[in-house]
Amino acid sequence: MLNEVVSVCRRKLKMPWEEIEALLLAVKTFCDIQPLTVTSHEKAIAIAKRFQLSFYDANIVASALLSGAEVLFSEDMHSGMLIDGIRIQNPF
């Protein structure tokens, strides 16, 4: 998730590094950050295959599932999609 925040902030929003670092601090403070593990990797592969997601998006979903999230905000995935109990929602 942290990688996605940086990617969107730099690529789409053209934010300066100082603002990105402040945002990352807020995200790390208020969110349960899950490390990439063998378990999350294997779950991501299964999700990517089953739901035809990119492997990158599947890693985000797998981490959200392992953290116990009920909703995952994403502008890239299909809003309303339900994946193993987690609902994808477009925040915009």
**Residue 1 DSSP code:** -
Tell which residue, 91, 92, 51, has the closest CA to residue 71. Answer: 91
The stretch 73-85 carries a mean pLDDT of 91
Q: Enter the tokens of residue 12.
A: 């789409």
Give dist(CA 56, CA 21) in Å, integer.
Answer: 22
As for how many domains the chain has, the answer is: 1
pLDDT band at 91 (very low <50, low <70, confident <90, very high): confident
Query: How far apart are the C-alpha atoms of 41 and 55, rounded to whole Å?
Result: 9
Residue 83 is part of which domain span?
2-89
| Segment 7-58, tens digit of pLDDT | 889 999 999 999 999 999 999 999 888 888 999 999 999 999 999 999 999 9
